[in-house]
Amino acid sequence: MSEPLRIALAGLGTVGGGVIRLIETNAALIARRAGRPIAITAISARNRSKDRGVDLSRYAWEDDMVILGERPDVDVVVELVGGADGPALALARTTFEAGKALVTANKAMIAHHGLELATRAEAAKVAFKFEAAVAGGIPAIKGLREGAAANRIERVYGILNGTCNYILSTMEDTGRDFADVLAEAQAKGYAEADPTFDIDGIDAAHKLSILSSIAFGTAIDFRNVTATGIRRVLAADIAQADALGYYIRLIGMAETEVDEAGNRRLFQRIHPHLVHRDHPLAHVDGATNAVVAEGNFVGRLLFQGAGAGDGPTASAVVADLIDIARGDVGAPFSIPVSELDAAAPADTGHRRGKAYLRFTVADRPGVLAEITAAMRDAGVSIESLIQKGRAGEDSDQVLVAMVTHEGPESAIAEAMRLLEGSASLSAPPLVMHILEE
């Protein structure tokens, strides 16, 4: 058996503890599959004395985690600290400067600094891997970067945030409203005390920006991911979608297109969608994640599994380590950073599709006429219109939902503009795109 691959672990939270447990529990089979043992040599975390339920005494301790990257007894640094900047970024830079490989689960750092770090890794000819940063335990990056590598990827999309999917599918199962389910998820530890990153689609946007770079060979462009979260989805929307044969899911979607001037443009959006019940994403429930890649030869590939949690995330981290032990030092984003295409963001107005629109309106004559007139004036064709019951028990507001025929998104935006400031609407309309089978 060859020399062990020696790793240093920065960050001993849930995932860090999971990585230690995994490497200890499955040590023998990992060594067989990797062709050499994977051995933890040094660790670092903010608090040395905290009880983490694992014996840390056999590993060297560093108070300053950045030092891990410089230790001569370390081949790979595993960064599980989190945060786009700060110590995680300092550690990553130091690691590459010292000519060592880096494995991380830090989606925010990659979304913000991935190109800089990949450039450093490529210059140092060392591995830089981050399977755990996207969709937890699912080998989605490997699936795109290697499994689908022969294909021009036409679209990559999926369910990238387990907290949102848990909330939506619980709302679906129980008929309860968003705030209620969120509060329960927070109490159970499924959602953060400050749930903004999850609920507003920012976490999913981090992941999507990484996936689209690998899928399309474009430079990571997190800042131009348009993100709308799930705060405004009502139990009534879910019931209505169900009656129409759809499930509501927060979908991250990316595509490239060529504009009129012949330039490649990148479309990236996180948005709640109505997903047709015959689409595989419709049946992804609970905290599960799923990534779909559509290639010009392979067709539609789906990768599904646990999107978070210590075990699944540790599985992805150690899979990266096994790849490194086996000798994989490929380009982090599939092609060298210097060849990535800096595509400008796409204009979404000409995108065509069906949409679900829901209005919260005053219950008085003429309101429906006003809405439908705006649709007509904007050129939006209505496929079905449902005037529903009151918005709440004591409410004098009524919910009106409609599904449009397929048409350009610009027409819907125009209709929304026409209705802006209307006294009939007591809240901004909710627009959700429809993902057909």
Residue ranges for the binding site for L-homoserine?
Answer: 192
Q: Does 103 bind a second copy (CB under 8 A)?
A: no
For the chain, the residue count is 437
Q: Report long-range pairs for 176-184 (Cβ below 8 Å, ≥24 apart).
A: 176/235, 177/234, 177/235, 178/230, 178/231, 178/232, 178/233, 178/234, 178/235
Residue 60, phi then psi, degrees to nearest 5 = -65, 145
Q: Does 32 bind a second copy (CB under 8 A)?
A: yes
Q: Does 165 bind a second copy (CB under 8 A)?
A: no
Q: Which of 180, 242, 257, 285 binds a second copy (CB under 8 A)?
A: 285
Q: Taking Cα atoms as reference points, which of 402, 409, 412, 415 lies closest to residue 241?
A: 402
Q: Does 397 bind a second copy (CB under 8 A)?
A: no
- Smallest gap from Cβ 291 to a second copy, in A, equals 11
Burial of residue 109, with CB atoms counted within 10 A of its CB: 0-12 exposed, 13-18 middle, 19 or more buried: buried
- Looking at beta carbons only, is 301 or 371 nearer to a second copy? 301
- Looking at beta carbons only, is 26 or 410 nearer to a second copy? 26
Name the binding residues for NADP(+).
Answer: 10-17
Name the binding residues for NADPH.
Answer: 107
Q: Yes or no: say if 110 and 79 are a contact pair by the CB < 8 Å rule.
A: no
- String of contacts with a second copy for each residue 205-234, x by CB under 8 A: ------------x-----------------
Choices 143-151, 239-247, 260-268, 412-420 (CB under 8 A): range interacting with a second copy: 143-151
Cβ-Cβ contacts under 8 Å for 139 (sequence gap 6 or more): 131, 303, 316, 319
Name the binding residues.
Answer: 10-17, 107, 192
Q: Does 142 bind a second copy (CB under 8 A)?
A: yes
Q: What is the DSSP letter of 62?
A: -
- String of contacts with a second copy for each residue 289-328, x by CB under 8 A: ------xxxxxxxxxxxx--x-xx-xxxxxx-xxx--xxx
Range 354-367 burial, b when 16+ CB lie within 10 A, else e: bbbbbbbbeeeeeb
- Looking at beta carbons only, is 302 or 385 nearer to a second copy? 302
207 a catalytic residue: yes
Helix (H, G, I), strand (E, B) or coil at 247: strand
In whole angstroms, what is the distance from residue 12 CA to residue 436 CA?
42
Q: Does 26 bind a second copy (CB under 8 A)?
A: yes
Residues carrying an active site annotation: 207
Query: Residues interacting with a second copy, by CB under 8 A?
Result: 18, 22, 25-26, 29-30, 32-35, 131, 137-139, 142-143, 145-152, 217, 278, 280, 282-285, 295-306, 309, 311-312, 314-319, 321-323, 326-328, 330-331, 334-335, 339
